[in-house]
Amino acid sequence: MLDDATDDVVRLIPAQDGDVPAIVALMNLAYRGDEAGWNTEAGYIDGDRTSEPFLRDEIATKPHATLLIWRDDADGRLRGCVWLEPLGEGRWYLGSLTVDPRLQNAGAGRRLLAASEAWVLARGGTEVSMSVVNIRDGLIAWYARRGYEPSGDTRPFPYGDDRFGIPRRDDLHFVVLRRSLA
């Protein structure tokens, strides 16, 4: 069991290439693993959430974006990660917010989200948007409690692109949530 996630400050640092295997393992565990908890996608998407080649490609093709990690101050264990990408005019995209599932009920996700928003604010950001699979009602409600609202925009689910997993349903799409930081 990991130590309580409320004991330290969330310090976000840019991921390095050597961090990619641990990030991929954490993302796959948190989104689709046996220990995924309330945040799992395993009931409607099979396979891995991401892979090392895909994540390295994303990092290489989007050098303006930053994949940030949060490590335990005591033992260096990866606690979480988040993808932050500037979209222009103060708008940022937040993706792949991931917390070790063993910390999910200790406030770690809330703290990681707040640290991510602070990181965006420090770089002049005024709005954060994200996309969430439409049937993830619990997660959408969790974000709503943190000020994120549906924008009315949707994005198609990447059916046929197994890099994101294999959907078990044919009614998936993404809803876009937004929060003003101003």
Confidence tier at 8 by pLDDT (50, 70, 90): low
Q: What angle do CA 35, 36, 37 make, to 5 degrees?
A: 95
Predicted confidence at residue 39, as pLDDT, reads 75
Within 10 Å of residue 166's Cβ, how many Cβ atoms?
Answer: 12
Distant-in-sequence, close-in-space partners of 32: CB < 8 Å, separation ≥ 6: 40, 41, 42, 45, 46, 47, 48, 49, 165
pLDDT category, 1, cuts 50, 70, 90?
A: very low
The percentage of the chain sitting over the pLDDT mark of 70, rounded to a whole number, equals 95
Q: Tens digits of per-residue pLDDT, 48-90?
A: 999 999 999 999 999 999 999 999 988 999 999 999 999 999 9
Q: Using one digit for the tens of pLDDT, what is the confidence trace for 127-145? A: 999 999 999 999 999 999 9
Name the residue ranges covered by the structural domains of the chain.
12-180
What's the mean pLDDT in 30-34? 86
Architecture of the domain delimited by 12-180: 3-Layer(aba) Sandwich (3.40)
Tens digit of pLDDT for each residue in 87-109? Answer: 999 999 999 999 999 888 889 99
Q: Can you give the pTM of this predicted structure?
A: 0.93
Q: Does residue 84 contact residue 65 with C-beta atoms inside 8 Å?
A: yes
For residue 97, give the 3-state DSSP assignment.
Answer: strand
Q: Mark residue 72 as left, alpha or beta (left: phi above 0; alpha: psi -120 to 50; beta: remaining).
A: beta
